[in-house]
């Protein structure tokens, strides 16, 4: 008779610290014990840092992902039908960017085109914003849905955006811990975090928006491609067709960065306006989702023009208790940054803006902290825009003006005015499929 394997946290940490491979049973044990509160936060912090520094190979990452899925519920919408046909479900996940409010218009566009979107979302991570923090700036919005409520809403509205907490609860704990221990930017930790939630949420197909650039966790196209490949393979191994777009994240998406400000910009897009880059990425991701779900009868751009996507968004917010009639919060204090000279804006760096917005109070620096929904920044002049000396380039909002010096320091050196525009690169850098 063989005894059950038994591990202890210092041994597992030491193994990875010294560059070893974690055996499957050690991964299963540490994820289960940490989720149950039997591995201390300090111990998991040390293990995360060891993984950050030493990495995990493909087999370790696959096992880590499977253990995180097994830590909670796994939803299944396979039985849903509409009009006598199985209801096609599809979701997208972004690896995180600055000003990335795409999920908001996107789920509504895809629902208006006839596919259903179960979107398990998270909160802000590091300098990047989180969909739940954004949506909770809408008065009354409730992201705590049960699996049954999600299924009901997929039938009635065509989309639900909900807290991923009961799915892969190990990830919810690890995500919060990584956010405050400088262990976010690790390829296997990002891949397993994204895919554990997304595979547990039960969507029939998945599209990944893998961000590349200063404001992304992956700074180079090579790293982003590696991350995308890893996640596409994890999806395939679990029977979920997965494709990826690699998209530009050196400049913030759109003009609004910060929770409520981004909701406002998403509403502009849904009303048929909004910044061209936000519209273009929404439409491209919607087309990719509809193709992978096999539902491509309606042109996604049309749903923004004819108001059908806005109708879906309003229905989704109302179904989750939100009141779009209530004013969105705006930080009580506002400071403007102006151009020191005339010319053309040549650079607005996504990381500088993301960190400034985080300093203004839109993100967290400790576990469980409240974010300021009204904190954020508006980019008045984007790369390529002409500007005169003294004209506003940024407006910064916060409820706590003592944060301004730190936010201004983050922006310092993160933007430039020159004589001629720098050549603009493409927004979509690559498409990857199995």
Q: Which residues are catalytic?
A: 93, 171, 178, 193, 197
Shortest distance in whole angstroms from residue 191 CB to ligand URA: 8
Shortest distance in whole angstroms from residue 76 CB to ligand URA: 21
Kindly identify the residues of this chain, within the stretch 151-210, that bind ligand URA according to CB under 6 A: 175, 189-190, 193-194
Q: Measuring CA to CA, which residue among 106, 350, 90 is closest to residue 203?
A: 90
CA–CA gap between residue 387 and residue 390 (Å, rounded): 8
Shortest distance in whole angstroms from residue 226 CB to ligand URA: 15
Shortest distance in whole angstroms from residue 101 CB to ligand URA: 15
CA–CA gap between residue 162 and residue 145 (Å, rounded): 6
Q: Which is nearer to ligand URA, 198 or 403 (CB)?
A: 198
Q: Which is nearer to ligand URA, 125 or 304 (CB)?
A: 125
Q: Which residues contact 271 (CB under 8 A, 6 or more apart)?
A: 310
Site string for ligand URA, 85-114 (x = CB under 6 A): ----------xx------------------
CA–CA gap between residue 134 and residue 260 (Å, rounded): 6
Q: Which is nearer to ligand URA, 96 or 361 (CB)?
A: 96
CA angle 264, 269, 270 (to 5 degrees): 95
Q: Which is nearer to ligand URA, 23 or 165 (CB)?
A: 165
Given CA atoms 374, 377, 378, 380 in this order, what sign does their dihedral have?
Answer: positive
Among 50, 87, 125, 151, binds ligand URA (CB under 6 A): 125
Q: Which is nearer to ligand URA, 119 or 398 (CB)?
A: 119
Q: Which is nearer to ligand URA, 123 or 312 (CB)?
A: 123
Residue nearest to ligand URA (CB): 193
Q: Which is nearer to ligand URA, 252 or 374 (CB)?
A: 252
Kindly identify the residues of this chain, within the stretch 30-89, that bind ligand URA according to CB under 6 A: none
Helix, strand, or coil (residue 192): helix
Shortest distance in whole angstroms from residue 73 CB to ligand URA: 17
Q: Which is nearer to ligand URA, 312 or 355 (CB)?
A: 355
Shortest distance in whole angstroms from residue 217 CB to ligand URA: 6
Given CA atoms 37, 38, 40, 45 in this order, what sign does their dihedral have?
Answer: negative
In sequence order, which ranges of 141-200 are alpha helices (DSSP H)?
147-156, 169-179, 187-200
Helix, strand, or coil (residue 116): strand
Query: Under rule CB under 6 A, how many of the chain's residues touch ligand URA?
Result: 9
Shortest distance in whole angstroms from residue 220 CB to ligand URA: 17
Helix, strand, or coil (residue 120): strand
Helix, strand, or coil (residue 424): coil
Kindly identify the residues of this chain, within the stretch 349-408, that bind ligand URA according to CB under 6 A: none
> Facing residues of 386 across strands?
344
Q: Measuring CA to CA, which residue among 60, 270, 78, 291 is closest to residue 186?
A: 60
Tokens at residue 260, please? 């409520």
CA 77 to chain centre: 23
Q: Which residues contact 242 (CB under 8 A, 6 or more apart)?
A: 205, 206, 207, 208, 231, 232, 234, 235, 236, 292, 434
Kindly identify the residues of this chain, within the stretch 271-330, that bind ligand URA according to CB under 6 A: none
Shortest distance in whole angstroms from residue 96 CB to ligand URA: 4
Q: Does 122 bind ligand URA (CB under 6 A)?
A: yes
Q: Does 131 bind ligand URA (CB under 6 A)?
A: no
CA angle 21, 24, 27 (to 5 degrees): 85
Task: Count CB-CB contacts under 10 A for residue 49.
Answer: 18
CA–CA gap between residue 225 and residue 229 (Å, rounded): 6
Helix, strand, or coil (residue 176): helix
Binding site for ligand URA (CB under 6 A): 95-96, 122, 125, 175, 189-190, 193-194
């Amino acid at each position: 008779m063989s005894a059950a394997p038994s591990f202890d946290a210092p041994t597992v940490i030491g193994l990875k610290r010294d560059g070893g491979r974690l055996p499957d049973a050690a991964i299963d044990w540490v994820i289960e014990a940490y989720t149950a509160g039997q591995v201390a936060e300090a111990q998991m912090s040390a293990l995360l840092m060891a993984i950050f520094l030493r990495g995990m190979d493909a087999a370790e990452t696959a096992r880590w992902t499977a253990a995180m899925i097994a830590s909670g519920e796994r939803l299944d919408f396979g039985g849903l039908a509409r009009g006598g046909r199985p209801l096609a479900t599809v979701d997208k996940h972004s690896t995180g960017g600055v000003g990335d409010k795409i999920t908001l218009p996107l789920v509504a566009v895809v629902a208006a085109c006839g596919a259903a979107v179960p979107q398990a979302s998270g909160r802000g991570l590091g300098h990047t914003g989180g969909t739940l923090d954004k949506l909770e700036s809408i008065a009354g919005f409730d992201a705590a849905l049960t699996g049954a409520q999600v299924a009901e809403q997929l039938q009635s509205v065509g989309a639900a955006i909900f807290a991923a907490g009961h799915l892969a609860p190990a990830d919810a704990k690890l995500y919060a811990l990584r956010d405050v221990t400088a262990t976010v930017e690790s390829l296997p930790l990002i891949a397993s975090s994204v895919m554990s939630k997304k595979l547990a949420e039960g969507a029939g197909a998945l599209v990944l928006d893998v961000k590349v650039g200063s404001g992304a966790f992956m700074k180079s196209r090579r790293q982003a491609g590696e991350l995308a490949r890893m996640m596409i393979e994890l999806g395939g191994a679990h029977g979920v067709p997965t494709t990826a777009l690699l998209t530009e994240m050196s400049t913030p998406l759109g003009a609004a960065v910060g929770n409520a400000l981004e909701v406002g910009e998403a509403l502009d897009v849904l009303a048929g306006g909004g910044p061209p880059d936000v519209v273009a990425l929404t439409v491209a991701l919607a087309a990719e989702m509809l193709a992978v779900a096999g539902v491509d009868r309606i042109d996604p751009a049309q749903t923004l023009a004819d108001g059908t996507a806005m109708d879906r968004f309003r229905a989704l917010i109302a179904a989750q208790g939100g009141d779009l009639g209530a004013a969105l919060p705006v930080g009580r204090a506002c400071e403007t940054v102006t151009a020191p000279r005339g010319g053309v804006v040549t650079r607005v760096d996504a990381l500088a803006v993301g960190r400034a917005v985080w300093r203004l109070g839109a993100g967290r620096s400790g576990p469980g902290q409240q974010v300021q929904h009204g904190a954020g920044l508006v980019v008045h002049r984007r790369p390529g825009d002409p500007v005169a000396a003294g004209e506003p380039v940024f407006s910064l909002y916060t409820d706590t003006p003592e944060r301004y010096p730190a936010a201004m320091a983050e922006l310092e050196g993160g933007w430039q005015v020159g004589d001629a525009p720098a050549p603009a690169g493409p927004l979509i850098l690559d498409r990857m499929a199995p």
